[in-house]
A and B are shown apart, each in its own frame.
Chain A
Amino acid sequence: DVKVTQSSRYLVKRTGEKVFLECVQDMDHENMFWYRQDPGLGLRLIYFSYDVKMKEKGDIPEGYSVSREKKERFSLILESASTNQTSMYLCASTEPGQGDYGYTFGSGTRLTVV
């Protein structure tokens, strides 16, 4: 069964810490995405990548960076965590032209910054 795996379901970090959220997909997809989900706001795109070592900013990239050294892995980095980054983070992947399959999502990482 194809899947997108996020390494942590729950994470608690302190303000100012550097935080790494990891995402791995086994579908050989080219495109990978990081979203954050907040009640009443839906999903907002942070960063996406359409190839290894390629990245593009989404709608809310401030305070985040990403890394894609290998096709299957897309990491989200919070350079200096702040309380307003407490959220659910969702990783997704897709293959260009596969609109009828949409995205495949991971189960999410709920991050709390204290």
Chain B
Amino acid sequence: GEDVEQSLFLSVREGDSSVINCTYTDSSSTYLYWYKQEPGAGLQLLTYIFSNMDMKQDQRLTVLLNKKDKHLSLRIADTQTGDSAIYFCAGSNDYKLSFGAGTTVTVRA
């Protein structure tokens, strides 16, 4: 399966931008995803990017994909306290997803 790596922790001040990074090994992934998990909850799909795209923007979220370096990032503009959560990147292989370990984002006032 795909190996997906991401840093475990990120602390950001309210109102600043957050950038969460992810690297993956399988270049054949059709889609790459970002999921958000709030405390005590399941995973919620935040956004996704098709593998032939370089960038996708969706309101405060910007996804960048560098296929050459197999690097995916999620930028959250104007980070709010409600953005505190664990963020997972995931790559698809057929219909199976492989997840990174998750980045815990803490937003401080």
Contacts and interface: CB of A to CB of B under 8 A. Distances in A.
Interface residues of A, number: 28
Contacts, number: 62
B31 A99 contact: yes
A94 B97 CA distance: 11
A100 to B, nearest CB: 6
Interface in A65-114: 90, 92, 94, 96, 99-108
Interface residues of B, number: 26
A114 B76 CA distance: 40
B48 A99 contact: yes
Contacts of B44: 105
Interface of B: 1, 4, 8, 30-31, 33, 35, 40-45, 48, 50, 88, 90, 92, 95-102
